[in-house]
Amino acid sequence: MTQRSVILGCGHYLPRNVWTNDDLRARGVDTTDEWIQQRTGIKQRHAATENEKTSDLAIAAARMALHNAGITADQLDGIVLATTTPDCTFPATAVKVQAALGMTRGFAFDVQSVCSGFLYALSVANNFIITGQAKHLLVIGAETLTRLLNWHDRTTCVLFGDGAGAVVLGAATGTGTVADRGILSTHLHSDGRTHDLLYTNGGPGSNGQVGTIQMEGKEVFKHAVTRLAEVVDEALNANHLNKSDIDWLIPHQANERIILAMAEKLSLPTDRVIITIGEHANTSAASVPLALAHGQQKNKFKPGQLLLLETMGAGLSWGAALIRW
Ligand code: UT7
């Protein structure tokens, strides 16, 4: 018998403010709706209101995930929250979620791996569960990325949005085969030599500033296509599965062209790919759990289907997970 982590419920939260591509143009960004849609697939993005913090987004998504999972906060053993935009430099944004949920035991901490953050958090949480150290965990990806944008840099400011997605993981017993429900495996990678392809020009330990996003978009694009293909093969090989076994692709939403290239590599029709970039833009650590919550809400995933989650972000960092729904 094997311990598995099963997704008991998903939740999401998107701020009420919506900025279309034309709204950005109206704000003075030298761009067009046509350029943004053609190059990225983005039509609009949600933006946190002035008083909304990353923790507010995370709390709303967490409450929905708990409700959908049918468990209460006092049953949770911990919270792992992925974010690049914490409310404060410290403590972790996760402890604010813990307090807001009325959870007085267990642990809560943040994971920072930018756009790969949710898969890193999911992997950490999965390891707590499969080693028997936790029964129920809340895993969140939450971001207020619009706070890190330089509105004079059209090559980055049109790409990002705010939001939060969450899942509740529960311990289940499996047979140890790929027929088990739950997370079959997770695969994480990073390569610090590519740090300067995507970073913020500020930080608490350098210049004391928050900084804004700096990106060599074309280079990141090339790495994304190669690395994602590699990590997907790694995940399939580790489970002795074939690409034809995949029912759903839940990719990081950075660029629709990258998403469609992955779908083509997997020979998956686009109606088997969750694509939310048009409405959400790139929400970094929130992107994969938002896409997952979207799929669940639309009742797309059927019990026993195989889901492939993949992501690529600053670091550069990348990863994949295979989940039997
Ligand atoms: O989530 C983390 C991982 N991130 C990613 O995976 C992002 C990967 N990169 C990308 O998605 C793409 O590289 C971008 C969407 C960022 C850029 O698309 P691109 O096709 O690589 O465009 P480019 O940077 O080569 O720029 C092409 C042209 C340039 O003009 P010239 O030099 O050809 O005259 C840019 O100045 O498009 C221009 N441009 C814009 N024009 C209108 C760049 N940004 C804009 C803009 N509006 N917002």
The reported pLDDT for the residue numbered 214 is 98
> 164 in ligand 1 pocket by Cβ < 6 Å?
no
Local structure of 243: helix, strand or coil? helix
C-beta of residue 138 within 8 angstroms of C-beta of residue 62: yes
CA of 64 to the centre of ligand 1 (A): 35
Q: Which atom of ligand 1 is nearest to the CA of 154?
A: 48
Q: How far apart are CA 231 and CA 319, in angstroms?
A: 6
Pick from 223, 256, 276, 45: nearest CA to 145: 45
Would you put residue 87 in left (φ > 0), alpha (ψ -120 to 50) or beta?
Answer: alpha
Residues 251-277: tens digit of each pLDDT: 999 999 999 999 999 999 999 999 999
Determine whether 282 is an active site residue: yes
Tokens of 3: 């311990």
Determine whether 115 is an active site residue: yes
The reported pLDDT for the residue numbered 284 is 98
- DSSP summary character for residue 102: T
The reported pLDDT for the residue numbered 1 is 87
The reported pLDDT for the residue numbered 300 is 97
Selecting among 21, 68, 126, 282, the annotated active-site residue is 282
* Global pTM value: 0.97
Largest alpha-carbon pair distance within the chain? 60
Pick from 257, 252, 266: nearest CA to 309: 252
Would you put residue 106 in left (φ > 0), alpha (ψ -120 to 50) or beta?
Answer: left
Determine the angle formed by the axes of helices 256-265 and 33-40, rounding to 10 degrees: 20
C-beta of residue 46 within 8 angstroms of C-beta of residue 276: no
> 223 in ligand 1 pocket by Cβ < 6 Å?
no
Pick from 292, 254, 245: nearest CA to 273: 292
**Cis bond before residue 197 (omega within 30° of 0):** no
The reported pLDDT for the residue numbered 13 is 98
User: Where along the chain do its domains lie?
Assistant: 2-174, 182-324
The reported pLDDT for the residue numbered 238 is 98
Determine the angle formed by the axes of helices 256-265 and 217-238, rounding to 10 degrees: 30
DSSP-assigned states of every residue in 253-298: -S-HHHHHHHHHHTT--GGGB---HHHH-B-GGGHHHHHHHHHHHT
Q: How far apart are CA 160 and CA 282, in angstroms?
A: 5
> 254 in ligand 1 pocket by Cβ < 6 Å?
yes
Residue type, 95: V
The reported pLDDT for the residue numbered 313 is 97
CA of 38 to the centre of ligand 1 (A): 10
Selecting among 252, 255, 280, 294, the annotated active-site residue is 252
Selecting among 115, 187, 280, 294, the annotated active-site residue is 115
Helices (H), the chain: 21-26, 33-40, 54-69, 93-100, 117-130, 154-157, 217-238, 256-265, 277-280, 287-297
Kindly give the parts of the chain with pLDDT less than 70. Answer: none
- Which is it for strands 44-47 and 136-144: parallel, antiparallel or unpaired? unpaired
Domain range 182-324, CATH architecture: 3-Layer(aba) Sandwich (3.40)
Determine whether 280 is an active site residue: no
Pick from 73, 185, 213, 215: nearest CA to 122: 185
Sign of CA dihedral 190, 192, 198, 201: positive
Residues 94-153: tens digit of each pLDDT: 999 999 999 999 999 999 999 999 999 999 999 999 999 999 999 999 999 999 999 999
Instruction: Tell me how far the alpha carbon of residue 248 is from its chain's centroid.
Output: 16
Q: How far apart are CA 224 and CA 194, in angstroms?
A: 12
**Tokens 């761009």, residue?**
31
Instruction: Tell me how far the alpha carbon of residue 212 is from its chain's centroid.
Output: 20
Domain 2-174: CATH superfamily is: Thiolase/Chalcone synthase (3.40.47.10)
